[in-house]
Structure 1
Amino acid sequence: MKRVFNFLAMFRRERQPGDLVFAVAFFVIALAAAAVLPQEASFTAGKQLVAQPGFWPAVGVAMMVLFGLAHLVSTVNAPRLPGRLKEVMAWGRSLEFVAWFVAYVTVMPVVGYLPATLILSVTLGIRLGYRSPRAIFASAGFAVAVVLVFRAGLGVRIPAGDLYDLLPPAIRSFAIMNL
C-alpha cells in the first residue's frame, strides 16, 4: 500500500471555537512587530551576531511569525466548530476591565491617587454586584488600605492630582505627601 504525503494533513488538528480569530489576530500582530523591528532593534558594526542588541528581539519576532503562521495554517485546515461568536464575545467582555483600568489611570492625575482609587474600588464593586452598604464600605476600606500600603508602607511616590491645588495650603501639602 502506497502512502501519499499531504502537507496540509500534517497540520490537521481539532479546532476550538474562536481559534481562527485568535490565529489571524496573533499573526497580524506578529507581522506588525516584524514590520517595526528594524526601527526598534539596532544592529551595530563590529559585534558578533549574538551580541547584537537586536538579535534576540529579532529571533523572538521571527518565532512569533513562524509559529503564528503554523497556527494559522493548522487552524484554517481544521474543521470549523460552531460557537465562534460566543467565544469572541467572552473575550470582549474581559476588555471591559481594561477600560476600567484606563479610566482609572486617566482620572488619577486629575483627582489624585486616593480619590481615584476610592472611585474605582467602589464603582467596580457596584459593577460586580456588591451593592449592599457593607460591601460598599468594604470596597472603600480596601481602597484606603491600598493607598496606605503603597504610599506609606512601600513609599511609592505618585504625582498629586490637579484637584489638590484647590485645597488650602496646609491641607494641600498633607494631601500631596500622603494622599
Structure 2
Amino acid sequence: MSQQADDHPHVFPEGRKPGEILFVTITMTIALILLAAVPWQTTWLPGKGLAAQPRFWPTLSLVGVVLFGLMNALSRVRVARTPGRWQEAALWLRSLEFIGWYMLYVMAIPVIGYLAATLSFCAGLALRAGYRGRTLWIAAGFGLFVVLFFKTGMNVKIPSGSVYEIAPEPFRYILMRYF
C-alpha cells in the first residue's frame, strides 16, 4: 500500500468539472418547477397515512433533488472552475439527437411494423455510431431477438404495421400476431 502525497483522497477532485454548476442549476430549476406543480398534479386522500399519499413520494424525491443539488452547488462554487462549460452543454444538446431517433422509431412502428422498425432502428443506430461490417449484422440480430422475445415470446401487444395489410391473406395474421 502506498501512501498518498496529499491529504485529500482521490475521489474529491480539486477543480470543478466543465458544466458542473450549469448541470446543477438546470436540474434544480426543473425540480423546483415540478415541486411547485405538486399541489396541482396530485391529491391528498383523507384517511390515508402519510406514506400512502399520492403526493408524498414525488415530493420527497423532488425535495431530495433540490437539497442535494444545493449542497453540491454550495460545496463546488468556491472551487476553481475548469474551462469548457459551453462545450459540455453543446455535447448535452448533441445527445438529444438520439431522442429524435427514438421518436422516429416509435412513429415508424404503426406504419412499417414492429419487425421492420426494430431492425431498421438497431441497424441505423449501429451505423450512426460508426459500426460497420459484422457489428452491423450483430445489431440486426439483436433487433430480431428483441422482436421475437417481446412480440412472439412474451405476447406484448404492439400495434401492427399498416404495411401488413398488403400481405397475402395466409401470412397477414402471422405477421400481425407474431411480428
TM over 0.5: yes
CA distance in 2, matches of 1:151, 1:50: 37
CA distance in 2, matches of 1:56, 1:140: 40
Residues 15 and 82 in structure 2, CA contact (< 8 A), matched pair in contact too: no
2:5 — aligned with what? none
User: Closer, same or farther in 2 for the Cα pair 1:121/1:70, shift >3 Å?
Assistant: same
User: Closer, same or farther in 2 for the Cα pair 1:50/1:126, shift >3 Å?
Assistant: closer
In the TM superposition, what is the alpha-carbon distance from 1:22 to its structure 2 partner? 0.3
After TM superposition, list the pairs within 5 Å mapping 1:59-74 onto structure 2. Answer: 59-74=60-75
In the TM superposition, what is the alpha-carbon distance from 1:160 to its structure 2 partner? 0.6
In the TM superposition, what is the alpha-carbon distance from 1:110 to its structure 2 partner? 1.5
1:32 — aligned with what? 33
2:140 — aligned with what? 140
TM-score (ref. length: structure 1): 0.78
Residues 110 and 162 in structure 1, CA contact (< 8 A), matched pair in contact too: yes
CA distance in 2, matches of 1:59, 1:135: 44
CA distance in 2, matches of 1:177, 1:154: 12
CA distance in 2, matches of 1:83, 1:25: 17
In the TM superposition, what is the alpha-carbon distance from 1:48 to its structure 2 partner? 4.3
User: Closer, same or farther in 2 for the Cα pair 1:69/1:138, shift >3 Å?
Assistant: closer
Amino acid across the alignment from 1:22: F
CA distance in 2, matches of 1:168, 1:131: 34
Q: Aligned with 2:111: secondary structure?
A: helix
CA distance in 1, matches of 2:130, 2:171: 35
User: Closer, same or farther in 2 for the Cα pair 1:82/1:48, shift >3 Å?
Assistant: same
User: Closer, same or farther in 2 for the Cα pair 1:28/1:141, shift >3 Å?
Assistant: same
Moved more, 91-100 or 109-118: 91-100
Q: Does 1:94 align with 2:95?
A: yes
Q: Tell me which protein shows more helix as a share of its residues.
A: 1
Q: Aligned with 1:53: secondary structure?
A: coil
CA distance in 1, matches of 2:116, 2:92: 30
**Count of residue pairs the alignment pairs up:** 166
Amino acid across the alignment from 1:160: S
Cα RMSD between the aligned structures? 2.3
Residues 27 and 72 in structure 1, CA contact (< 8 A), matched pair in contact too: no
User: Closer, same or farther in 2 for the Cα pair 1:50/1:155, shift >3 Å?
Assistant: closer
Residues 107 and 116 in structure 1, CA contact (< 8 A), matched pair in contact too: yes
TM-score (ref. length: structure 2): 0.78
In the TM superposition, what is the alpha-carbon distance from 1:14 to its structure 2 partner? 4.3
CA distance in 1, matches of 2:58, 2:170: 51
Moved more, 106-115 or 88-97: 88-97
Unmatched 5+ residue regions in structure 2?
Answer: 1-13
CA distance in 2, matches of 1:175, 1:47: 48
CA distance in 2, matches of 1:63, 1:131: 44
Residues 23 and 75 in structure 1, CA contact (< 8 A), matched pair in contact too: no
